[in-house]
Structure 1
Amino acid sequence: MNPTLVDALADVVGGDQVIVEGESAVRYLTEWRGAFTPQAAAIVRPADVDEVARILTVAARFDAAIVPQSGNTGTVGGSAADDPRRQVILNLERLDRIREVDADNATMTVEAGCTLADAQRAAEAAGFYLPIQLASSERCRIGGNLATNAGGLNVVHYGNTRDRVLGLEVVLADGRVWDNLTGLRKDNSGYDLNDLFVGSEGTLGIMTAAVLELADPPQQRAVAFCALADVAAGVSLAARLRRRTGQHVVGCELISAQALELACDYSADCVVPFATRADWYLLVDVAISAPGDWLAATCEDTLQDAAEEGLLVDHVLGKTPETMAALWRLRTSIPPAQTAAGASIKHDISLPVSKLPAFIADMTPRLHAAVPDIRPCIFGHVGDGNLHFNLTRPVAMEDAEFRRHEADLHRLVHDRVAAMRGSIAAEHGVGRLKVDEIVRLKPAVEIDMLRAVKAALDPHNRLNPGAVVRI
């Protein structure tokens, strides 16, 4: 800890907003998966963009590094500071205001520390819908959603967080502020700098506010839960539903039997709505903002046709809020159930949708050969090719013993993903967890380009050093 640095930070935000140790520091220095043990010289909590800019100026003066943090719900150590002498965690939770809702432009301007749930509620109060849907909405914050380009449960129709961004306010490494909170849908006056910062995990600049595009709230909706003949049937059914509903499939989730079994074992609220059992299941959410009653009927007709052709072995269609929520619980209960079931080695991967069946068929025997009785707990967004290809320890194996296989299992999965031209960092980011794997698997020319961008905007490596790409 450098007292002179701490004093300078206190001059900017006040002494009560600089935390150096004690119980008050614990939640900022806790990485929820337990993969990292964060350490920092201090935690500083600014109240507005001006204070953020002044903190960056202080960091430059003392050659300190800034690790941005908002909700601290990331899964790859992106905000896990690791240098107790040089690094300062800049927590943005006090920047939590909704600055504006522009009804005619269908946008909202929101600060980085606002929780996703509060932003959603503000949009709803104004008669709109903010279509970024994450299970952690009450805890995650807009800054982290932007920094990781968060995906979520309805990417198929609405896109990732990046697709909602029409403008940013960013504090650069030297303390200058770039104000691009314009709300423009067309601006070809230079490189798309918004897109550069979104997904950069705080390594290029500190995003303090954003203009987000809003949608009209759904007026028709239905949720289907299907027992599939196989994975390929799920891919085929998803494509068919997109076509027949006019591209109004909002969410499309593939669930393995193992994942569903864990969810039902560890959550009393999870009840499979039919007696039929299968190796794979598909949950599909369809929604449209136009009034009427045709969408559910179209979905049911499509499911019936698929059943007659042998793609499905059973299905149910939920039309009421209660039944739709009950079906979604079968999916959202999987992550906590995995935690309860013991050690889990996680992979956030993406592939072209067409390649998912071949990937799963190829990987399953390889995994069982590597660790007999391993429990692949596979689920995720088949609509956009993003799978959470997670591996739960064998029932008879201790957590510590299973963890000894982690490096080999990562390499086994990642090598196959790379061979099929996929990504090992689909929606959770790179953080500190996957930096070495990115270097190992990406072409050298791509790593050179990433490093060139980083060096251009942060030449002294003061912004989240060690995350995404090393220089």
Structure 2
Amino acid sequence: MTSTTVADLAPLLETIGRHIGAQHVLTAPGDTAAYLREERGLYDGRTPAVLRPGSAEEVGFIVAACAEAGAPIVPQGGNTGLVGGQMPFGELVVSLARLDKIRQVDPIDMTMTVEAGCILDTIHNAAEAVGCLFPLHIASQGSCRIGGNLATNAGGTAVLRYGNAKELVLGLEVVLADGRVWNGLKRLRKNNAGYDLKQLFLGTEGTLGIITAAVLKLFPAPAQRTTAFLAVPDPEHALKLLHRLRGLAGDGLTTFELMADFGIETVLKHMPGTVRPFAGRYDWYVLTEFSAPTRAFDLGALMESGLEAAMEAGEVTDAVIAASEAQADALWRLREDMSEAQKHEGGSIKHDVSVPVSKVPEFLARALPAVTAELPGLRPCPFGHVGDGNIHFNLSQPVGMEKAAFIDMWERFNRIVHDIVTEMDGSIAAEHGIGRLKAHELAHYADPLALELMGRLKHALDPLGLLNPGKVLEV
């Protein structure tokens, strides 16, 4: 597709325009530019046209027409992906942004049926309006769209309690590679009638089919929450604290985030309005939260008793418990603004990895000295969802180093970090997906039989290889 032009595709685009409206076939550079900019600036997208269907039927028409013409396509939601999975490299872009309806909210079934283009925060608000909770919370929730969240199996800060995106789905509507629309929008909690087909499309990044709608699980809205920001001696003590708090609160432990001092100082330095939580500085911090759908017991008292015991055991050095929603939000900003703050420190080489929860301290003890030995002056910025074993092992460039020269070392650091992760039976892609960025890494590390099975699935469901080519698998 690299040499295909708008003129080459004129008959196809005209046919599609007659069906979805010519105004929804974008070809002018000024109109397509927003669909070609990638969050991290790693890729420059290229496309002959952006297609904006308004229904699953229109998506199916586009896919069928492209299949007949042999034209590959890239589905795109909010364009917030971090591994290039949504980026076109000459293919047509199918934007799901117009499929943004909430079809049904049922607080009795505790479900919500939404179209793929719904912005995540819109879903949050709709759930809250009926006294429910949709618990997928990620930094881009004001602009990301649920179809992309499901296609990448997004994680976020509440996985510890509620699981990843694929665990929040009961049913799907999917456009297949030949344009047919599979209606699997079941609202059932129990359904063993054959294969669980929805799992083929959750987390597979639009390479097997295009999600156009989903039935989401809702949960009781929290009646209370208690947020604490803690200083801990090291990751080993943080792990002991996690075990203590989980034993105390059970499923009430919703969040447990670990952050290094460099990350916190970066946020305080670059993000206006952020506030230092303690008078002094510490090497490691934890942001934790209890929540409950009832006021039958006092979460604040439970948190206080747990932290008192943790301080006596040496697991916590200092602590602050939010006394209001505003204070809780201020503490959350120290975690949520970290990725944005890093941009101000120059180049950042990012690793989204996971290991068994029990091995998080060992991973950090091995990986931190390994990367700093490779490049003196390197400034590691590890943080993440330690409660589920997911660490964002980000590396900020040494002060004074050229950004381009640093980014050129990405593959060298991949090998160091991913070798350690693989030796520890971990994953090189915890919650961001594989996309284009990690397709080569997956080919390098994945079990050959697993790759063979993935290839068979791809060929069976997309025999022409036209759905998001070059993503996940190097085919």
TM-score by length of 2: 0.97
Give the corresponding residue for 1:133.
Answer: 137
- Out of 257, 266, 272, the position equivalent to 1:268 is 272
Partner of 1:366: 370
The Cα shift of 1:104 comes to: 1.4
Q: 2:15 aligns with which of 2, 8, 30?
A: 8
Match for residue 68 of structure 2?
61
| 1:448 corresponds to which of 427, 452, 463 | 452
CA distance in 2, matches of 1:24, 1:401: 33
- 1:156 pairs with 2:160: yes
Kept in 2: contact 1:221–1:319 (CA 8 A): no
1:350 match = 354
Tell me how far 1:285 sits from its aligned partner: 1.1
Q: Which residue of 1 aligns with 2:232?
A: 228
Q: What is the alpha-carbon distance in structure 2 between the residues aligned to residue 19 and residue 89 of structure 1?
A: 10
d(CA) in 2 for partners of 1:420, 1:12: 52
The structure 2 residue matched to 1:78, chosen from 81, 85, 91, is 85
Identity across aligned pairs (percent)? 46
Q: Distance between the aligned counterparts of 1:243 and 1:190, measured in 2? A: 38
Answer whether contact 1:197 1:205 (CA < 8 A) is retained.
yes
Among residues 415, 419, 432, which one is paired with 2:419 in the alignment?
Answer: 415
**Do residues 188 (structure 1) and 203 (structure 2) align?**
no
Alignment check: 8 A CA contact 2:147 2:212 kept: yes
| 2:223/2:293 contact within 8 Å kept | yes
Matched-pair contact (CA < 8 Å) for 1:431–1:468? yes
Q: Aligned letter for 1:466?
A: G
Q: Which residue in 2 is equivalent to 1:44?
A: 51
Instruction: Give the match for residue 108 of structure 1.
Output: 112
Counterparts of 2:202 and 2:408, CA distance in 1: 35
Q: Is the 8 A contact 2:113 2:215 kept in 1?
A: yes
One-letter code of the match for 1:59?
A: C
C-alpha distance in 1 between matches for 2:474 and 2:209: 16
- Give the aligned residue type for 1:39: R
Which residue type is aligned with residue 110 of structure 2? Answer: A
Aligned to 1:239: 243
Specify the code of the residue in structure 2 equivalent to 1:424: I
Is 1:143 the counterpart of 2:147 in the alignment? Answer: yes
What CA distance in whole angstroms lies between the structure 1 residues aligned with 2:275 and 2:202? 38
Identify the residue that residue 300 of structure 1 maps to in structure 2: 304
8 Å Cα contact 1:351/1:421 also seen in 2: yes
Map of 2:35 onto structure 1: 28
Q: Deviations over 1:29-63 (max 9, x none)?
A: 11121111111121100000110111111011111
**The 10-residue stretch of structure 1 (393-402 or 218-227) with the greater mean CA deviation from structure 2:** 393-402
- Per the TM alignment, residue 247 of structure 1 is displaced from its structure 2 partner at its CA by 2.1
The runs of 4+ residues in structure 1 deviating greater than 2 Å are: none
Do the aligned residues in 1 keep the contact of 2:443 with 2:474 (CA within 8 Å)? no
| CA-CA distance at 1:146 after TM superposition | 0.7
Q: Residue 194 of structure 2: SS of its match in structure 1?
A: coil
Paired residues for 1:395-414 under 5 Å: 395-414=399-418
The answer to whether the 8 Å contact 2:440/2:474 transfers is: no
Shift of 1:278: 1.7
Following the alignment from structure 2 to structure 1, what is the Cα–Cα distance between the partners of residues 472 and 400? 36
TM superposition shift of 1:5? 1.6
Post-superposition offset of 1:443: 0.9
Deviation at 1:319, TM superposition (A): 3.6
Offset of residue 395 of structure 1 = 1.3
- 2:175 maps to which of 171, 177, 201: 171
In structure 2, how many angstroms separate the alpha carbons of the residues matched to 1:310 and 1:182? 49
Give SS of 1:40's match: coil
For the residues of structure 1 that align with 2:240 and 2:11, how far apart are their CA atoms?
62
Q: Distance in 2 between matches of 1:148 and 1:433?
A: 13
Given that 1:255 and 1:379 are in contact with CA atoms closer than 8 Å, whether structure 2 keeps it comes out as yes
Does the alignment pair 1:217 with 2:221? yes
1:10-35 Cα deviation digits (max 9, x unpaired): 12211110011221110011112111
Unaligned runs of 5+ in 1: none
State the 1:292 CA deviation.
3.3
Instruction: Tell me how far apart the structure 2 counterparts of residues 463 and 403 of structure 1 sit (CA, whole Å).
Output: 29
The corresponding residue for 1:439 is 443
Contact kept? 1:227, 1:276, Cα under 8 Å: no
Q: Distance in 2 between matches of 1:119 and 1:253?
A: 24
Deviations 1:123-146 (A, max 9, x none): 111221111111111100011111
Deviations 1:186-230 (A, max 9, x none): 111112111221101000101000000101110121011111011
Indicate the SS of the match to 2:368. helix
1:246-287 CA-partner distances (Å, limit 9, x unpaired)? 221111100001111111111232222222322111100110
Cα contact 1:451–1:470 (8 A) shared by 2: no
Would you say the 8 A contact 1:168–1:209 is kept in 2? yes
- In the alignment, the residues of structure 1 paired with residue 104 and residue 408 of structure 2 have an alpha-carbon distance, to the nearest angstrom, of 51
* CA–CA distance in structure 1, aligned partners of residues 316 and 266 of structure 2: 22
How do 1:387-398 and structure 2 match up within 5 A? 387-398=391-402
Task: Provide the aligned length of Structure 1 versus Structure 2.
Answer: 468
Which whole-Å CA distance do the structure 1 matches of 2:383 and 2:34 have between them? 29
Is structure 2 residue 388 aligned with structure 1 residue 384? yes
After superposition, where does 1:254-293 map in structure 2 within 5 Å?
254-293=258-297
Alpha-carbon distance in structure 2 between the residues aligned to 1:373 and 1:284: 31
Q: How far did 1:168 drift?
A: 0.3
Query: Does the aligned pair in 1 maintain the 2:112–2:215 contact within 8 Å?
Result: yes
C-alpha distance in structure 1 between counterparts of 2:292 and 2:376, whole Å: 45
Distance 1:319 1:244 in 2: 21
Counterpart CA distance in 1 for 2:398 and 2:63 is 48
Q: Which runs of 5+ in 2 are unaligned?
A: none
Residues of 1 paired with 2:103 and 2:474: CA distance? Answer: 35
Q: Is the 8 A contact 1:296 1:319 kept in 2?
A: no
Q: Is the 8 A contact 1:112 1:207 kept in 2?
A: yes
The TM-score with structure 1 as length reference comes to 0.98
How far apart in 2 are the matches of 1:109 and 1:449?
31
